[in-house]
Amino acid sequence: MKFPIRLSGRRKVIALTGASTLVFAGLVTIPATMAHAAPGCDITYTTNDWSEGAGTGGFTGTVVVKNTGDAITSWSLKFAFPSGQTFTQGWSANWTASGANVTATNLSWNGGLGTGASTSIGFNGRWTGSNPKPTAFTLNNVACTVGGVTPTASPSTPTSPSASPSTPASPSASPSAPASPSASPSAPPSPSTSPTVPGVKVDNPYSGARGYVNPEWSAKAASVSGGSRVSNVSTAVWLDRIAAIAGTSGSSSNGSMGLADHLDEALRQYNAGSGPLTVQFVIYNLPGRDCAALASNGELGVDDLPRYKTEYIDPIAAIMGQSKYAPLRIVTIVEIDSLPNLVTNLNIAKCATMNSNGGYVKGIGYALNKLGAISNVYNYIDAAHHGWIGWDTNFGPSALKFKEAATAEGSTVDKVHGFIANTANYSALVEPFFTIGSSVNGTSVRQSKWVDWNQYVDEQSFAQAFRTRLVSEGFPSNIGMLIDTSRNGWGGSARPTAASTSTVVDTFINQSRIDRRIHAGNWCNQSGAGLGERPRANPATGIDAYVWVKPPGESDGSSSLIPNNEGKGFDRMCDPTYTGNGLNGNNLTGALPNAPISGAWFSAQFAELMANAYPPLS
């Protein structure tokens, strides 16, 4: 599908700059152990520099290694900085540094490199005075050409390597060696498709772009009567556990296609059409995930931040950073239902733990830093929805918490391209018959039970206002917002067609609102919901796109306990007989019956979403 363009002067093209970190993504070189292999290598070394004061600064280095000799199964790269630069951190390789001398060796999953194949690694560094490039590199102790030119000197030999900082343990999903991986997955903005040209992120990754059609979701949608009307709509792919990176053929909530499979298919779709193509992935596996709910609890415990980094984020970054995917615009939706819990739900023990141990803040900062370093990856942080953080007491503190995460673990606000509202939720895009400034017989709509003193009545007004607040807290003025409209259409016979004539504020609101939920705090498999606006770019001021991030027809959680090995629990908010709690005003949940576990296909819900679509389906 295509995201229609509406021109907006709101944002400028963003050159990849900022952040005092550097990355190496997925290098592969030649093994010292293969004495019989005819050696040969060519190096391309590029940097993205920034200044932090008079005569000092940081840089992101990207090294592209091409194997011009026989195929290898392991490698060791060595080089030396020529002008006092220092190495600070690297990824996708085992890194050690002693003074000017730097060594990178392969990880367990990226040691193979065939003849003629190339790959890249990245790192963070600092410079004083200037940042000239190293001119000599060795691969398995054999001198490499640099950009096809034979160097005049070899780098001095580094001292014996020690344990590399922040090196991933063996990731559970072993990405296959890329044909020619490129931009580093783990530093500040890095060079993009060509290793010799600095990377530039476009202003809005959805403008003028087609959307990736997930063949697994598309087949499920088409299997339901009438589903072919929307089966070619672009939806996001959810990476909700480590195994999803490689694909899970026996899972009820993930398909057999892994991350590389989806990117390969996206590349096929890109090549089969014309113009850019945007593919969306939900990054969703924090330690102690979704601390205030049970249906979407994850596989990682509250203290599993190291596993999150090395077994989840690092492999994702290594795959996304492969150069063959550089033509794609890759959007990452970063960790839904996480940071707002640290503002509103600290009375829940698990949320208090994640706040005190820093798991959410550090995990998101790490993800932003690694993924944001890839020149064609665009990070959008989940920003909840108006029915969660729309009150003054939550609105400002949430913006501050997002800033804290965006500057954690080496990340900066420049690694954030924008935010997304209403992810996997049902809040109305726009309430057409009243605004937050409306009053009924002299009584503000804010005093109604439905609005409950909130400052917003719908998602678009909330998203636009929250964007302004985020900018005031230090995020770039050109950030954009997304709104998930996959299930907030609220069409069908129950949709009001005009404002109520009642002079009683609660009656007026209940008869006028298009959001037909029993309570705005209800979030699971909502009865009466419909497909919302189809994805499109630049629909309103400050909004990059309407998107379908929650694939319609994928369950929010099971209606009753269903044992499973996917880390999915049972939350009573998904039980249609449950009379609620303080989070939904002790009301019925409004959930559909007979629902499967979170992420599993729920055909009855999909049929109802189509029936209640707004705009209606033709």
**Residues taking part in catalysis:** 337, 556
Rounded to 5°, angle at Cα 318 from 315 and 322? 145
Which of 319, 370, 327 lies closest to 120 in space, CA to CA?
319
Angle at 128 between CA 125 and CA 129, to 5 degrees: 135
Token readout for 531 is 């497909």
Q: Which residues contact 131 (CB under 8 A, 6 or more apart)?
A: 47, 49, 57, 59, 83, 85
Q: Please choose, from the candidates 372, 456, 438, 313, the residue with its C-alpha nearest in 3D space to the C-alpha of residue 187.
A: 372
DSSP 259-305: HHHHHHHHHHHHHHSSS-EEEEEEE---TT-STT-STT--SS-TT-H
Partners of residue 94 on adjacent β-strands? 105
Q: Are 79 and 155 in contact (CB under 8 A)?
A: yes
**34 Cβ contact partners less than 8 Å away, ≥ 6 residues apart:** 70, 72, 73, 74, 140
| 419 token code pair | 């935010």
Please calculate the CA angle 448-453-455 and round it to the nearest 5 degrees.
120
Token pair of 571, please? Answer: 């939350």
Residue whose pair of structure tokens reads 């990377």 in the numeric block: 199
Residue 64 and residue 117 in contact, taking contact as beta carbons nearer than 8 Å: no
Residue type, 552: P
Distance set, CA 1 to CA 141, 211, 459, 567 (Å): 50, 5, 24, 33
Tokens of residue 473, six digits: 């807290």
Task: Indicate the residue type of 320.
Answer: M
d(CA 104, CA 121): 9
Residue 71 burial (CB < 10 Å; 0-12/13-18/19+)?
Answer: middle
Contact assessment for residue 40 and residue 124, using Cβ atoms and an 8 Å cutoff: no
Find the largest Cα–Cα distance for the chain: 89
Cβ neighbours of residue 160 closer than 8 Å, sequence gap 6 or more: none
> What angle, 0 to 180 degrees and rounded to 10, lies between the N-to-C axes of helices 459-472 and 392-406?
50
